[in-house]
Structure 1
Amino acid sequence: MGGLVMWMSAGFSMLEVGLVRSENTAEILTRNIGLFAIACTMYMVVGYDIMYGGGHLVAS
């Protein structure tokens, strides 16, 4: 499922790039890569703990 989400993000990037001028393409792609990196990091920090428990966010 994570792979499908990755391809969905790539598809949204292509959609956004198609809707802006060519001079703004690099900015749009950089922003989308940054947002995807932040989302992946937050999933690893928070989401994984919520799903499987036993992580560093659970009180002893």
Structure 2
Amino acid sequence: MAAHLTSKSDVYIFGVVLQEMIIVRRSMDKNRPNAEHNLVQWARPYLGERRKFYKLIDPD
């Protein structure tokens, strides 16, 4: 597979890593329910509003 890395892909990957650190979940986790396998897709609805964003953060 020929993946061409660009500055956009670097920014996207940085965002995913940042989400992993804040939410304390892996970016792909098949042990979670189907709707939560992909961290980015699962977290997207929560990122638009501040009140919802705080629900994502791991309390521990």
- Specify the TM-score bucket, using the shorter chain as the normaliser: 0.3 to 0.5
Structure with the higher helix share, 1 or 2: 1
Please give the TM-score of this superposition, normalised by the length of structure 2: 0.34
